């Protein structure tokens, strides 16, 4: 997933969304999200990971914390 995140970061940077790129993310936060059921993964028809979304719950409301998808998808 770090490769997917890096590819998405380049797309965000090209569109002027440096703020998104500069937000801290880590494998630990992805793993914590996975354990809590807040990491959703998109796969290709060949079952390869092509994107993911990390959710966060704030005040009982779900928010997108991170969204990263490969360009092709």
Residue 6, pLDDT score: 74
| pLDDT(52) > 90 | yes
Structural contact between residues 51 and 40, judged by C-beta atoms closer than 8 angstroms:
no
Q: What is the pLDDT of residue 15?
A: 76
> What is this structure's pTM?
0.74
| Mean pLDDT within 40-53 | 95
Centre a 10 Å sphere on the Cβ of residue 67 and count the other Cβ atoms it contains.
15
22/20 Cα distance (integer angstroms): 5
pLDDT grade, residue 62 (50/70/90)? very high
């Amino acid at each position: 997933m770090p490769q997917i995140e890096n590819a998405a970061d380049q797309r965000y940077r090209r569109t002027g969304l440096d703020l998104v790129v500069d937000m801290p993310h880590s494998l630990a936060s992805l793993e914590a999200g996975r354990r809590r059921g807040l990491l959703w993964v998109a796969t290709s028809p060949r079952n390869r990971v092509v994107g993911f979304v990390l959710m966060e719950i704030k005040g009982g409301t779900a928010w997108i914390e991170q969204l990263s998808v490969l360009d092709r998808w």
